[in-house]
A and B are shown apart, each in its own frame.
Chain A
Amino acid sequence: MNSGQLLLIAILLSSFIPGIIIFCLPEEKHRLRTRLNLCGSILKIALILVMNAGIYYGHVYEIRIPLIPGVELLLNGDPLSALFATLSSVLWLLTTIYAVGYLEGSPNRSHFFGYFSLCVTVTIGIALAGNLVTFLLFYEMLTLTTYPLVIHRGTEKSLRAGRNYLIYAFSGGAVFLVAVVWLQAVVGPVDFSAAGFSPSYLDSHGPVLTIIFVLLIIGVGVKAALVPLHGWLPQAMVAPAPVSALLHAVAVVKAGAFGIIRIVLDVYGAQNLLLLGVLPLLAAVATVTIFYGSIRALQQDDLKRRLAYSTISQVSYIALGMSMVDQPLAVIGGLIHLVHQGLMKITLFFCAGNLAETLGIHRISEMSGVARRMPLTMAAFSIGALGMIGIPPTVGFVSKWYLGLGGLAGGNWWLLLVLVVSSLLNAWYFLPILTSAWFGKQKGEWPEEMYIGRYETSLMLLVPPLVTAFIVLAAGLVANAQISPLAWVRFIVRGYGL
């Protein structure tokens, strides 16, 4: 076993082992638990950065475990997995800090943090998966590890949400499994590193491969919340705020979107998809999802539900970028949105959680004048919201800029229209929140005001959104620097020879 393989295993274990220990710890040992969590997540980030450097300089990180003839588990660190792994591990650190502050004093915390750690292990597994079987393995595990988090509160409502989540996610998983087996029966095992199977299969099995592509996209589309497979996401809002952050920004929805990227770029490959002619279908689904999510977001008064529909809409930019896989700029736009959407959405969810935890505010109509009570939280929220609308210099602008450029380069004028209309819709559902929060007058008492800590709320709740909001601004400002998410995405796209 060489050092690269050890590194991959260490990356997975750095959250798995703390998770297992946390399960065994008694409930009251919260200091030790927090320390374990933080050490694990910082170690994980460090290890992933080491791997990133190695990948940049062309090292190979690969573990193969054969199961049965034709089926093997394959972990493989490539630039794309580095992107997702880095995003997840950094956001996991912040979410952990946030969750420690958020769940202070609530029951069953050892279970919560145990599953939390397992969940990020599985997410990193998805990032490192080197073929569809491995991806499937971690994809199903992700459902299992997030389910206890969704139903953590044990109320009737959360159980119902959990049940729906399971039905959606496992149905998607089942479709995905069928598609994977079928694909293997047609073209044999496909490693992601091959960047697409041989085009010679298209002549003999064209229609079958089209069906398989649709099935694969349905399989991952459930987690990516593509319309009409999005039903579970708004319901899952009953979960605690750190879990929502996890679902929307770090793990679940991202895993779905990442799956779409893998299928388009690595399983089928740009060439094959153009020949099959299925990309307009993906573009259509993505566009419908973008509009549908935004329009439904407009109708919500519950803050977290509005954010949930906004996620449905925003994640589809990634699918939209992938649907123009022949345009490198559009691919850059889609890939970079994976990172940017995560940063912005996690900021918004942290802030929503702060409002709920500190003031008991759950509805947008209750938010009038809240910025005077919690200026820092609302500042972070505003940066996130402006990013979602796509206002420079936030990262949201960078995503939309590249998507637009890609659309223009390919002569797809309709894409520009989609972007403009969707940005207008985003503005329509975010700006009223901002104006009423900053300029509105407080109406009566806050629903359940609590005074936690010296600042507007507990420091552990306040710092994570401020950090992510800062990154939203900073990554947008330095997008063109040598070391930035955008630079890495360019590196990825160069690797595909686009």
Chain B
Amino acid sequence: MIFHVDSASWIIAPVILPLIAGLLCFLFNRKIFIIALAAALANFLVVCFLIWQLLNFGPMRSYIGGWQPPLGITLRTDGPALLMLLMTAITGLGVTLYARGYFSHRISDPVRAFRHQRQQRYFWPLWMLLLTGLNGLFLSGDIFNLYVTLELIGISAASLAALSGKPASQRASFRYLLISLLGSLTYLLGIVFLYRTCGVLDLTLLRNLAGNESGMGAALALLSVGLLLKTALVPLHFWLPPAHANALAPVSVILSALVVKASFYLLFRFWFELFAPIVTMPALNFMGTLGAIAILWGAIQAMRQHRLKLMVAYSTVSQLGYLFVAFPLSRITEGAEVWSIVIFMALTHACAKSAMFMAAGSVYLHLGHDRIKDLGGVRASLPVTVFAYGIAGVSLMGLPPSGAFIAKWMLLSSSFASSQWWWVLVIMTGSLLAMIYVFRVMSQFFVIPEGDVLDTPEPLSPLLEWPALILALISLFLGLFAPWPLHILSQGSTGLALIFPGALP
């Protein structure tokens, strides 16, 4: 069986499947969960198939409807794209199961129970649309198509964030929507610049032109600001904690684990592939510095929070900083290695942060609040959730053998190799601060409350506890399986060079 690398039309499956499922979810009233689960499962299998294909046949591309660039829509697979797809598929599967548990949790209060029912109606189709957008973004091969997927992600994410219906969450999600639109507009402006100078929108063609044209700097700056707004890098992070913390638990998981990664992924591709010839060291250092500020600021804010979900949200702000610290260290590492730092960080964070938000959501359902100082006794009643929280926390801290440890190891060793020791300080301080905010909560779980334990509420469904634990375990043991992602990544980059000769930075 021989695949032709230019006509792999099934690449479109990860985009089409959730889209169809989303539409079906709108149409049908019952069994929505089954549709969504089937889509999530199918998505996972397709991604596994695509990875298998990549390993055996190298990168692929497909032109939708047979239209070649510069006119048509291009989808393509390579190592980084497929790993992001895999990340989305795994956490997506986890979230789908968790959301099922979340929405079928029995609530005695009839008003709240009714609200739960209504939220569920909107949650599933929106989540499927979001999944479509994410998969489309990771696979897209032209810059305008990327804009469309970004918009899709932004709008469905903001609507998901508004689902909980509480005033705080509506305010936060409205702000989120505005920021997201502002980001998209800036991004669109960047595309306009780019199109004016180069006259094409296909990434591969653009890459070949990027070094020669003037005015690319302005385009890059606009694109970057738009994407940074969406990625919530300090100082543009202000919208993230309220939006993530006030959303429903499954939505928080999706927003924190996946949505911010999408815009970051795009940013990273622009900086290190498309615009690599014109990126300067001061610009990289600037991004790294913002990342360092994000690590410290986010962690300090996380330490100061009184509510568990806000703490977890600020931890996202902090963890995103590590992705940017990789920027200035990229110059001395080789192409595949800078990808592997970012990918390991992103994969670990996606799994660990999902687990953490799931645990926080379960605790909220269980106790009816998430005030950190009143979490005593949860260890006895929700041992699996507490375990999941602990393991996820350990992965976020970057302790071995988590994937974040591998990423931090590479960051540290490139700092030493390039004598930029100040990054070492930032990275290690960030880890220690993470330890403090993770274990501040952990120790509260261990408090044995005085007097009677709370009047045993409804036991939680296993769907609320086990997906969190499994995702946490994946993030913790990712480091032990480090050769696999590395293998997939290396496939991608050599293949890229083959298909797009002379184009790699």
B179 interface residue, CB < 8 Å from A?
no
Checking A65, A68, A148, A182 against B410 with a beta-carbon cut-off of 8 angstroms, the contacting residue is: A68
From the candidates A65, A71, A154, name the one contacting B409 in the complex (CB within 8 A): A71
A226 touches B (CB below 8 Å) = no
Complex: chain B residue closest to A65, CB-CB: B480
Of the candidate stretches A133-141, A249-257, A425-433, the one touching chain B is: A133-141
Q: Which residue of chain B has its CB nearest to the CB of A144?
A: B394
A73 to B400, CA, bound (A): 11
Nearest CB to that of A160 among chain B residues? Answer: B443
Which A residues touch B486, using CB under 8 A? 68
Neighbouring B residues of A147 by C-beta, 8 Å: 439
Known: A140-B400, A174-B432. Contact between A68 and B448, CB under 8 A?
A: no
List residues 265-284 of chain A with CB under 8 A from any CB of chain B: none
Which positions 174-213 of chain A face chain B at CB distance < 8 Å? 174-175, 177-178, 181-182, 184-185
Does A362 interact with chain B (Cβ within 8 Å)? no
B305 close to chain A: CB less than 8 A: no
Q: Which of B24-32, B213-221, B233-241, B411-419 contacts A (4 or more CB under 8 A)?
A: B411-419
CA distance A178 to B415 in the complex (A): 11
Task: Judge if A159 is at the interface, Cβ distance under 8 Å.
Answer: yes
Partner of A159, one of B400, B424, B443: B443
Interface centre among A68, A147, A159, A175 (most CB of B within 10 A): A68
Q: Is the Cβ of A181 less than 8 Å from the Cβ of B428?
A: no
B406 in complex: contacting residue of A67, A108, A136, A140, CB < 8 Å: A67
- Once the chains bind, are A67 and B483 in contact (CB under 8 Å)? yes
- Is the pair B443, A170 in contact by a Cβ cutoff of 8 Å? no
A65 to B481, CA, bound (A): 9
Contact yes or no, A107 B480, CB < 8 A: no
Check if B400 sits within 8 Å of A137, measured CB to CB.
Answer: yes
A385 to B483, CA, bound (A): 52
A171 within 8 A of partner (CB)? yes
Proximity bits, B375-413, A CB within 8 Å = 1, else 0 = 010011001000000100010010111000010111011
- Out of B394, B412, B483, which one reaches A177, CB within 8 Å? B412
**Chain B positions within 8 Å of A154 at CB level:** 376, 446-448
Shortest Cβ gap from B389 to chain A (Å): 13
Distance A174 CA – B409 CA, assembled complex (angstroms): 11
A66 B394 Cβ-Cβ under 8 A = no
Question: Is B41 an interface position by the 8 A CB rule?
Answer: no
Q: Which residue of B lies closest to A153 (CB)?
A: B448
Expressed in whole angstroms, the Cα–Cα distance for A178 and B482 within the complex equals 20
Interface membership of A60, Cβ < 8 A: no
Inter-chain contacts of B397 with A (CB < 8 A): 170
- Tell whether, in the assembled complex, residue A170 and residue B409 are in contact, meaning their CB atoms are under 8 Å apart: no
- Using a Cβ–Cβ cut-off of 8 Å, how many residues does chain B contribute to the interface with A? 35
Query: Is B340 on the interface with A (CB-CB < 8 A)?
Result: yes
* B contact patch SS: helix
CB-CB under 8 A from B416, the residues of chain A are: 181-182, 185
Residue of B nearest to A169 (CB): B435
Question: Is residue B479 within 8 Å, beta carbon to beta carbon, of the partner chain?
Answer: yes
**In the assembled complex, which residues on chain B have CB atoms less than 8 Å from the CB atom of A363?**
none
> Are B482 and A68 in contact, with the CB atoms below 8 A?
yes
Q: A67-B479, A136-B400, A171-B432 are in contact. Are A162 and B443 (CB under 8 A)?
A: yes
A32 on interface, CB distance cutoff 8 Å: no
In the bound assembly, the distance between CA atoms of A48 and B67 in angstroms comes to 67
Assess A166 versus B435: contact at CB under 8 Å? Given A67-B482, A107-B448, A133-B400. yes
Assess the A140–B399 pair: CB atoms within 8 A. yes
Given A68-B409, A151-B443, answer yes or no on A174-B428 (Cβ-Cβ < 8 Å): yes
B446 partner, pick from A23, A137, A148, A178, beta carbons under 8 A = A148
Cα distance A189–B445 in the bound complex, in angstroms: 40
Contact call B413/A184, Cβ cutoff below 8 A:
yes
| Any A CB within 8 A of the CB of B185 | no
* A167 part of interface (Cβ distance < 8 Å): yes
Q: Does A163 contact B (CB under 8 A)?
A: yes
**CB pair A185 B413 closer than 8 Å:** yes
Q: How far is the CA of A328 from the CA of B410 in the complex (A)?
A: 39
Given the contacts A108-B380, A163-B443, A68 and B340 also touching, CB distance less than 8 Å: yes
Question: Is A181 a contact of B480 with CB atoms below 8 Å?
Answer: no
Residues of A within 8 A of B424 (CB): 178
User: Which of chain A's residues have a CB closer than 8 A to the CB of B209?
Assistant: none
Chain B hits for A171, CB < 8 A: 432
Task: Point out the residues of chain A lying under 8 angstroms from B443, CB to CB.
Answer: 151, 159, 162-163
**Nearest residue, chain B, Cβ from A70:** B413
Taking CB atoms and an 8 Å cut-off, the chain A residues in 1-31 that contact chain B are 23
Q: Is B380 a contact partner of A170 (Cβ separation < 8 A)?
A: no
- B480 in contact with A67 (CB, 8 Å): yes
Given A108-B380, A185-B413: A68 in contact with B406 (beta carbons within 8 A): yes
Residue of B nearest to A139 (CB): B400
Task: Give the docked Cα–Cα distance between A177 and B406 (Å).
Answer: 12
A137 and B428 contact, CB distance less than 8 A: no
Query: Closest Cβ of chain A: how far from B449's Cβ, in Å?
Result: 9
B340 CB contacts on chain A under 8 angstroms: 68
Known pairs A140-B399, A159-B447; A167 contacts B436 (CB<8 A): yes
Q: Which of B417, B435, B447 contacts A170 (CB 8 A)?
A: B435
The smallest C-beta distance from B419 to any residue of chain A, in angstroms, reads: 10
> Which residues of chain A have C-beta atoms less than 8 A from B394's C-beta?
144
- Cα–Cα distance between A144 and B390 once the two chains are bound (Å): 9
Of all chain A residues, the one with the shortest Cβ separation from B428 is A174
Q: Is B431 an interface residue (CB 8 A)?
A: yes
Q: Looking at the assembled complex, report how far the CB atom of A7 sits from the nearest CB atom of chain B, in whole angstroms.
A: 20
Report Cα–Cα, A107/B377, bound state, in Å. 12
A contact residues around B400 at 8 Å (CB): 133, 136-137, 140-141
Among residues of A, the one whose C-beta sits closest to the C-beta of B444 is A159
* Whole-angstrom distance between the Cβ of A81 and the nearest chain B Cβ: 19
Distance (whole angstroms) from the CB of B84 to the closest CB of chain A: 19
Chain B, Cβ-Cβ closest to A151: B446
Which residues from A are CB-within-8-Å of B417? 185
Q: Which residue in chain B gives the minimum CB-CB distance to A186? A: B416
Question: How far in angstroms is the closest Cβ of chain A from B258?
Answer: 25
Q: Which residues of B contact A151 (CB under 8 A)?
A: 443, 446
- The answer to whether A177 touches B446 (Cβ under 8 A) is no
Of B397, B400, B416, B431, which is in contact with the most chain A CB atoms at under 10 Å from its CB?
B400
- Chain B residues lying within 8 Å of A173, measured Cβ to Cβ, are 399
Nearest Cβ in chain A — how far from B443, in angstroms? Answer: 5
For residue A153, which residues in chain B have a CB less than 8 angstroms away from its CB? 448
- Give Cα distance in the complex from A224 to B355, angstroms: 34
Nearest Cβ on chain A to B424's Cβ, whole angstroms: 6
Alpha-carbon separation in the docked complex, A68 to B411 (Å): 13
Question: Which B residue sits closest to A162, measured CB to CB?
Answer: B443
Q: Which of A141, A151, A162, A174 neighbours the largest number of chain B CB atoms within 10 Å of its CB?
A: A174
Would you call B428 and A163 a contact (CB within 8 A)? Answer: no
Expressed in whole angstroms, the minimum distance between the Cβ of B190 and any Cβ of chain A is 35
Which chain A residues lie closer than 8 Å to B409 at the CB level? 68, 71, 181
Are A178 and B483 touching (Cβ within 8 A)? no
Name the one of A66, A108, A162 contacting B483, with C-beta atoms under 8 angstroms. A66
Q: Which residue of B lies closest to A163 (CB)?
A: B443
B57-91: CB near A (< 8 Å → 1, else 0) gives 00000000000000000000000000000000000
**Complexed CA–CA distance, A338 and B475 (Å):** 36
B418 to chain A, nearest CB (A): 10
What residues of B have a CB within 8 angstroms of the CB of A174 in the complex? 428, 431-432
Hey, which bits of chain A sit against chain B, CB under 8 A? 23, 65-68, 70-71, 73, 107-108, 111, 133, 136-137, 140-141, 144, 147-148, 151, 153-155, 159, 162-163, 166-167, 170-171, 173-175, 177-178, 181-182, 184-185
30 A-B residue pairings within 8 Å (CB atoms): A23-B383, A67-B406, A67-B479, A67-B480, A68-B483, A68-B486, A71-B409, A108-B379, A133-B400, A136-B400, A140-B399, A144-B394, A147-B439, A151-B443, A154-B446, A154-B447, A162-B443, A162-B446, A163-B443, A170-B431, A171-B432, A174-B431, A174-B432, A178-B412, A178-B428, A181-B409, A181-B412, A181-B413, A181-B416, A184-B413
Known: A68-B410, A137-B400, A140-B400. 10 other contacts (CB 8 A): A107-B448, A111-B379, A137-B401, A144-B399, A154-B447, A162-B443, A167-B435, A173-B399, A182-B416, A185-B416
